[in-house]
Amino acid sequence: MMNYILIVDDHADIRRLLSITLGKQYEIIEADNGTAALYAIRKYRPVVVLLDVMMPGEIDGLQVLDAIKSNPMTRDILVAMVTARGQQADRDEANRRGADAYFIKPFSPLQVVNWIREHL
């Protein structure tokens, strides 16, 4: 079975960078908003979701996180928040809601790669 990684970010360039970084080793799917992300999760069952917090639209990153972690079918998916919000309070909030990792933009691609490698 393919190991899918879902990249959720409204910035196409960021999605592209991450896609280039991970695409050699994993199968990448992309979503530019929360609704598209939930759809992709149901359809592809990714093993990792890299999730931006602030996104335009009705569902933001934290709500996507809630949806993943509250559903027994999806709560084993590893979720890493990739966000510009670097406050400790933001980090704590994400932790509380079940995030598995927290990367602050601009993130180190090596750190992301290593984290995924360690956890897969």
Binding stretches for other proteins (CB under 8 A): 11, 13-14, 17, 25, 56, 84, 105-110, 117
CB of 46 to other proteins, least distance (A): 18
CA pair distance 28, 97, nearest whole angstrom: 25
Q: Which lies closer to other proteins via its Cβ, residue 41 or residue 101?
A: 101
CB of 96 to other proteins, least distance (A): 26
84-96: burial string, b at 16+ Cβ within 10 Å, e else? ebeeeebbebbee
CB of 13 to other proteins, least distance (A): 5
